[in-house]
Amino acid sequence: MNKRIIITGGNSRFGQELKKSFSGKNIIYTTRKDLNILNIKSIEKCLEKHKPKYLIHLASLSRPMIIHEKDIGSSIDANIIGTANIVKKCFESNIKLIYFSTNYVYPGDKGNYRENDALKPVNNYAWSKLGGEASVKLYENSLILRLSMTEFPFVHDKAFKDAKNNFLYRKDVIRILPKLLDEKGIINIGSNKSESIYSFAKKTQPNVKPISVKSVKNFPVNSSVNINKLQKVLKNKNRKNFSKMTNSKSDFSKIIYPAGPSVTQLEREIIDDMMRFGWDNYDYVEKFEKEFANYHERKFCLMTPSCTMAIYLSLKALNIKKDDEIIVPDVTWTATVSPIVELGAKPIFVDVNKNDWCINTEKIIEKISKKTKAIFAVDLFGNMPNMEKLKIISKKHKILLLEDSAEALGSQLNGVKAGKFGDVSFHSFHRTKTITSGEGGVLLTDNKKLFLKAKLYRDLGRSEKNSYIAEVASLKFMPSNIQAAMAYGQFKRLKELLSIKRNIFNEYKKNLSKIEVHFNTDNKNVKNGLWATVIYFDKKYKVNIPKLIRFLEKKKIYSREFFRPLSSQPGYKNFTSNKIAKQNKISYSLFKNTLVLPSHYNLNKHDIQKVCSYIIKFVNI
Ligand SMILES: Cc1ncc(COP(=O)(O)O)c(C=O)c1O
């Protein structure tokens, strides 16, 4: 069925934001070059070429508002004549027309306006939009949206303290738009909270100055709209499960990203606090380190600009140097191992276990030599290695145990948290991780001497007594207070975030129960933080993972390959031999049969159902 959509004003601010969320061969964003609303021939040509079912009419003249008073010609052309042209052509081809109007068509004195209330535009801009509405209204197959919409964050430095509105951010409008396409008539769009523009603005623009509407001409004191009709429509759509436009058959569907954060007002407010009071101190760094150490029952925590830096800094503080050897699992992210190489030491690649994807403790023993300084265990995808055994080995051979728990925030082994096991352990707050500060990481340890040394090295080796004196020559690994504020806010939400990750994992498990796949470990001993859901396909399916990834990409579903054995990568060629693929058989076979599923915080049940249905389809082809 034809679901093609043409969008006029593809380069408008709203059009550009829409494009980031929805794209595909059935959504055509046009600019004046492709479709000039003042040129009937150009409209005809474009509609003839694409034969859309829907047309979302965004092209208009809006800001600056004053232009509609000063240059009424442009206002009439763009908003009235241009819209009328669009209506005529949609009418001829029976294309569903969705028109973006404004709440400023209402009188703006009492607020809470319903769709059938009397209209009295507040200024020329609103009159021009109402002019457009007038022609749209003649056409039955149309929808007029009267939006009380604004951008995030609030853009002006002044806001009216005595004027009310119920603004909805553009991004929230984009979220509901697909559910409205099949509606007709007029629908108000706004948030469910009517408040002064100043109090609304302050949430995202704390330094905004309050001003009075009395200071300007013709500004409405209350333009809030009643959204009962909108709520009813959305409720009905939800009951029908998922909007027709966003179901798996449509191309007008959400892009499913592999990973991404959940950020709320809490983090914004904490960062805002840092922005106002956090420039002459590292208060958030210190607060975050303290709480993060407490949570992991560790004595010391040091935050760094990334986890990679935390690893490098620790190895440096541990005096790891040229020709030292460190035993590492063959499958992990390169950042576990690149700091070792950077310091001139040698990584020794050991195979992993088939069931938990973590380092094989049996195989470690045979690799221990006089040069071995440490075993670097990795809690891959929140799974946990046999820590008891690793501790015994490290003790017996007097070598260090390092724990890379970058992927295991919230994981527990027999009730003990990932990040507690190593002489030094590490976490990452990369933008894809369970909590994020954009980039960021920490080291955790109970060893005071090591902690103090790492702390000294973290900040150019500067003396505590006189910060202008360098006790040792060192690089700088300081995180910013902004990073720490973000991490602090995210960490406050850890419980909630872990539960979202768990829901995603459970949903995948439910929807993939029909095929034989092995998930991240999550059982009575290992409680997984479930940063990302991962599936290992039974070999009987002979799944070609790169092909599956490409297949999903065509559906706008972005998954990832498993970690490629480091011993197979050019950057590590000096540390491998021809025999390694045979020696590390499990690592190589895991890479061939495993897929990292999209685990973005914004996934809902329907997205996951969609991902799973395509995976099942692919393996059954
Ligand atoms: C296992 C592992 N180690 C280390 C890192 C490095 O973390 P970062 O990106 O914060 O430097 C990551 C994350 O990407 C990782 O997954």
Distance from Cα 433 to the centre of ligand 1, integer Å? 9
Mean of pLDDT values over 504-528: 97
Give residue-wise pLDDT tens across range 423-468: 999 999 999 999 999 999 999 999 999 999 999 999 999 999 999 9
Residue 104's closest CA among 220, 197, 218? Answer: 220
Is residue 243 packed enough to be buried (19+ CB in 10 Å), middle (13-18) or exposed (0-12)? buried
Q: Which atom of ligand 1 is nearest to the CA of 429?
A: 10
DSSP output for 273-316: HHHHH-SS--HHHHHHHHHHHHHTT-SEEEEESSHHHHHHHHHH
pLDDT at 269: 84
Give residue-wise pLDDT tens across range 119-133: 999 999 999 999 999
**Mutation test residue for ligand 1: of 306, 308, 332, 563, the one with most atoms within 8 Å of CB:** 308
Q: What is the DSSP letter of 352?
A: B
pTM for this structure? 0.68
3-state secondary structure of 462: strand
pLDDT at 153: 83
Distance from Cα 407 to the centre of ligand 1, integer Å? 7
447 φψ region: left (φ > 0), alpha (ψ -120 to 50), beta (else): beta
Q: What is the DSSP letter of 353?
A: -
Query: Cα separation of 421 and 391, whole Å?
Result: 8
Distance from Cα 533 to the centre of ligand 1, integer Å? 17
Query: Cα separation of 511 and 259, whole Å?
Result: 19
| 378 Cβ inside 6 Å of ligand 1 | yes
Distance from Cα 312 to the centre of ligand 1, integer Å? 12
Query: Cα separation of 530 and 504, whole Å?
Result: 9
Query: Cα separation of 607 and 601, whole Å?
Result: 11
Strands 27-29 and 534-537: unpaired
The CA–CA distances, whole Å, from 340 to 313, 445, 446 equal 11, 19, 22
Residue 408's closest CA among 356, 480, 349, 450? Answer: 356
17: which residues sit within 8 A by CB, 6+ positions away? 170, 171, 174
Distance from Cα 286 to the centre of ligand 1, integer Å? 22
State yes or no: pLDDT of 253 exceeds 90.
Answer: no
State yes or no: pLDDT of 240 exceeds 60.
Answer: no
Report whether 619 contacts 535 (CB < 8 A).
no
Distance from Cα 429 to the centre of ligand 1, integer Å? 8
| Residue 130 structure tokens | 């109402």
Give residue-wise pLDDT tens across range 102-125: 999 999 999 999 999 999 999 999
Query: Cα separation of 167 and 149, whole Å?
Result: 5
pLDDT at 121: 95
**Mutation test residue for ligand 1: of 333, 336, 402, 405, the one with most atoms within 8 Å of CB:** 333
Sheet with 5-8: list strands edge to edge. Answer: 27-29, 5-8, 54-57, 96-102, 142-147, 185-189
Mean of pLDDT values over 239-243: 42
CA quadruple 510, 514, 519, 525: dihedral sign: positive
Between 160 and 215, the higher pLDDT residue: 160
State yes or no: pLDDT of 254 exceeds 80.
Answer: no
Mean of pLDDT values over 180-194: 96
Query: Cα separation of 227 and 535, whole Å?
Result: 43
Distance from Cα 539 to the centre of ligand 1, integer Å? 29
Query: Cα separation of 314 and 578, whole Å?
Result: 32
| 306 Cβ inside 6 Å of ligand 1 | yes
| 314 Cβ inside 6 Å of ligand 1 | no
pLDDT classification of 243: cutoffs 50, 70, 90: very low
Give residue-wise pLDDT tens across range 373-400: 999 999 999 999 999 999 999 999 999 9
Distance from Cα 430 to the centre of ligand 1, integer Å? 7
Residue 497's closest CA among 614, 601, 352, 603? Answer: 601
Residue 241's closest CA among 502, 497, 605? Answer: 605
Residue 86's closest CA among 47, 140, 50? Answer: 47
| 386 Cβ inside 6 Å of ligand 1 | no
Query: Cα separation of 11 and 15, whole Å?
Result: 6
Residue 165 dihedral angles phi and psi, to the nearest 5°: -160, 170
pLDDT classification of 245: cutoffs 50, 70, 90: very low
Distance from Cα 525 to the centre of ligand 1, integer Å? 24
Query: Cα separation of 65 and 129, whole Å?
Result: 12
| 531 Cβ inside 6 Å of ligand 1 | no
| 437 Cβ inside 6 Å of ligand 1 | no
Give residue-wise pLDDT tens across range 43-79: 999 999 999 999 999 999 998 888 999 999 999 999 9
* Smallest CA separation from ligand 1 atom 9, residue: 430
Give residue-wise pLDDT tens across range 520-558: 999 999 999 999 999 999 999 999 999 999 999 999 999
**CB atoms inside a 10 Å sphere around CB 393:** 18
pLDDT classification of 613: cutoffs 50, 70, 90: very high
pLDDT classification of 246: cutoffs 50, 70, 90: very low
Q: Which atom of ligand 1 is nearest to the CA of 430?
A: 10
**Percent of the chain topping pLDDT 90:** 88
297: which residues sit within 8 A by CB, 6+ positions away? 417, 420
| Omega cis (within 30) before 64 | yes
| 409 Cβ inside 6 Å of ligand 1 | no
| 335 Cβ inside 6 Å of ligand 1 | yes
Residue 143's closest CA among 78, 55, 43? Answer: 55
Is residue 540 packed enough to be buried (19+ CB in 10 Å), middle (13-18) or exposed (0-12)? exposed
**Percent of the chain topping pLDDT 70:** 97
State yes or no: pLDDT of 288 exceeds 50.
Answer: yes
| 441 Cβ inside 6 Å of ligand 1 | yes
Report whether 477 contacts 453 (CB < 8 A).
no
| 526 Cβ inside 6 Å of ligand 1 | no
* Smallest CA separation from ligand 1 atom 5, residue: 335
**Mutation test residue for ligand 1: of 302, 303, 304, 307, the one with most atoms within 8 Å of CB:** 307
State yes or no: pLDDT of 239 exceeds 80.
Answer: no
Query: Cα separation of 151 and 168, whole Å?
Result: 8
| 580 Cβ inside 6 Å of ligand 1 | no
Domains of the chain plus CATH, in order, are 5-157+166-195+223-246 (3.40.50.720), 265-492 (3.40.640.10), 494-620 (3.90.1150.10)
